[in-house]
Amino acid sequence: MILLKNGRIIENNKIIKKDILVDEKIIDINDNISGDYEVIDLNGKLVMPGCVDVHVHFREPGFINKETIKTGTMAAAKGGFTAVMPMPNLNPYPDNLEHLNVEMDIIKRDAIVDCYPYGTVTVGEKDVEASKIAEIAPYVKAITDDGVGVNNLEPLESQMLIAKKYNLVIASHAETLEGKYAPEGEYVAVRREIELAKKTGCKYHFCHMSTKESFEAIRKAQKEGYTNITCEVAPHHLVLNEEMINGNPNFKMNPPLRSEENRRATVEALLDGTACMVASDHAPHTEEEKSREYDKCPNGILGLETMIPIIYTNFVKTGLIDLNRFQDILINNPIKVFNLPKRSLNVGEVADLIALDIDNEHLYTKEEIVSKGKNSPYIGNKYYGFNQLTIKNGKIIYNNLGGKHE
């Protein structure tokens, strides 16, 4: 058993001091616990349940020079995530059970946090032939053709009906073929997919939304009562805009950074609840790929190791988001939307915990990155709220309390 002394937790939207005793489960949370246990002094760190990131690219099987399930889940543990949902743009694509098994075997062998893999909507994400949802349904929570937009609406509509039958979420990388990268490429796709989601009633989740018009369309549908339609926003669309790109490959991702007006709309959507969660779109590439000139380098930036501090520093510390909402957008809402196992900081619950340093600013450096990729636009920035300790099922899987990275 591990005794976490002098931590702080969130209770009724306030931060209060508590000791926490954990085994595989949370044994006790109290003002002062003592006993003959392994003791870790948290010195005021903020303890929360492990966070959930529903949008990560771990590149395995298929592209292990960029990331692996091992390095990806290690980055998750460092960042403060104990559950992640790896995207299916892999080789092979998890579009049938045989292919999904390749990924699941590696997860079983190498993952140090919970991984809930996505299946694909269409075979090979080619937007033509429907993938075998019935086969993979028992093993996945959601399906997506992330990385490419769905432009052939027929397989999508029939897959929505099947997904509904199996209670799977369809996550959409909304993008029209014609409009690729332009704001209208996103919101035109969003508008037409909303109509299909209304018609079929399928749980439909829009990934990494980034334009004012997309949020307007989603907000309107939600106001009409379509609670099956949800969306996420990514940290980079909340805090960066297109004026910051300056040809730097570490500022290149898809959807791209948008205008300041669209960035503000993204913030507004998170604040008013149109977007009920943040997801990192963690997308590692090799240093060689990301050292090419801007037009020739692949889309994608790292996200797992910086998402919590970016949200904490920009939204919680500034008072834009309260502590309850902080936990909702990083833990409770992803769990609710994607039907994942519940986690909370209560006696008897699984001991998946993190401990954030909210008192000290930390300079984020390239050297500390755990992911195989080093493609982060945040290197050299300072944030509050970096995770210092991750406990999974009662075992320490990340510990920086000694302050190597201070």
Catalytic residue among 127, 281, 328, 352: 281
The least distance separating Zn ion from the CB of residue 23, rounded to whole angstroms, comes to: 39
Q: Which C-beta is closer to Zn ion: that of 103 or that of 146?
A: 146
Q: Which C-beta is closer to Zn ion: that of 48 or that of 297?
A: 297
281 is catalytic: yes
Of residues 157-176, those binding Zn ion (CB under 5 A)? 173
The least distance separating Zn ion from the CB of residue 370, rounded to whole angstroms, comes to: 23
**Which positions from 136 to 155 touch Zn ion by CB under 5 A, shown as an x/- string?**
----------x---------
**SS3 per-residue string spanning the chain:** CEEEEEEEEEECCEEEEEEEEECCEEEEEECCCCCCCEEEECCCCEEEECEEEEEECCCCCCCCCCCCHHHHHHHHHHHCEEEEEECCCCCCCCCCHHHHHHHHHHHHHHCCCEECCCECCEHHHCCCCECCHHHHHHHCCEEECCCCCCCCHHHHHHHHHHHHHCCCEEEECCCCCCCCCCHHHHHHHHHHHHHHHHHHCCCEEECCCCCHHHHHHHHHHHHCCCCCEEEEECHHHHHCCHHHCCCCHHHCCCCCCCCHHHHHHHHHHHHHCCCCEECCCECCCCHHHHCCCHHHCCCCECCCCCHHHHHHHHHHCCCCCCHHHHHHHHHHHHHHHHCCCCCCCCCCCECCEEEEECCCCEECCHHHCCCCCCCCCCCCCEECCEEEEEEECCEEEEECCCCCCC
Q: Which C-beta is closer to Zn ion: that of 78 or that of 205?
A: 205
The least distance separating Zn ion from the CB of residue 283, rounded to whole angstroms, comes to: 8
The least distance separating Zn ion from the CB of residue 292, rounded to whole angstroms, comes to: 21
**Residue number closest to Zn ion, CB atom:** 173
The least distance separating Zn ion from the CB of residue 55, rounded to whole angstroms, comes to: 7
The least distance separating Zn ion from the CB of residue 223, rounded to whole angstroms, comes to: 26
Q: Is 205 in the site for Zn ion (CB under 5 A)?
A: no
Of residues 93-132, those binding Zn ion (CB under 5 A)? none
Q: Which C-beta is closer to Zn ion: that of 49 or that of 86?
A: 86
Q: Which C-beta is closer to Zn ion: that of 20 or that of 270?
A: 270
Q: Which C-beta is closer to Zn ion: that of 282 or that of 325?
A: 282
Of residues 387-406, those binding Zn ion (CB under 5 A)? none
Where on the chain is the footprint of Zn ion (CB under 5 A)? 146, 173
Catalytic residue set: 281
